[in-house]
Amino acid sequence: MSKKLVNAIADMKEEEALNIAKKMVEDGSDPTAIVDAAREAMDIVGQRYEKGEYFLPELMLAGEMMAQITEMIKPELAKMPEVKRFGKVLIGTVEGDIHDIGKNIVTFMLDVNGFEVLDLGVDVPPQKFVETIKKFKPQVIALSGFLTLAFDAMKETVGAIEAAGLRDDVQIMVGGGQVNEEISKYAGADAYGKDAMAGVTLAKKWTGAK
Which segments of the chain belong to CATH 3.40.50.280?
Answer: 88-207
Residue 9: φ, ψ to 5°: -65, -50
* DSSP states of 88-152: EEEEEEBTT----HHHHHHHHHHHHTT-EEEE--SSB-HHHHHHHHHHH--SEEEEE--STTHHH
Which segments of the chain belong to CATH 1.10.1240.10?
Answer: 2-78
Q: What is the pLDDT of residue 94?
A: 97
Look up the CATH architecture of domain 88-207.
3-Layer(aba) Sandwich (3.40)
pLDDT under 70: residue ranges of the chain? 80-83, 210
Q: What is the pLDDT of residue 189?
A: 98
Q: What is the pLDDT of residue 83?
A: 62
Digit-coded pLDDT (tens) for 35-90: 888 878 988 888 888 789 998 889 889 888 988 888 888 888 777 666 678 899 99
CATH classification of 2-78, choosing from 1.10.10.10, 3.40.50.720, 1.10.1240.10, 1.10.150.120?
1.10.1240.10
Instruction: Answer whether 0.75 is exceeded by the pTM.
Output: no
Rounded Cα–Cα distance for residues 94 and 106 (Å): 15
| The 171-175 sheet, strands edge to edge | 116-119, 88-93, 140-144, 171-175, 191-192
Q: What is the pLDDT of residue 73?
A: 85
Rounded Cα–Cα distance for residues 198 and 123 (Å): 23
Rounded Cα–Cα distance for residues 51 and 105 (Å): 18
Rounded Cα–Cα distance for residues 3 and 10 (Å): 11
Degrees, nearest 5: CA angle 152-195-73: 120
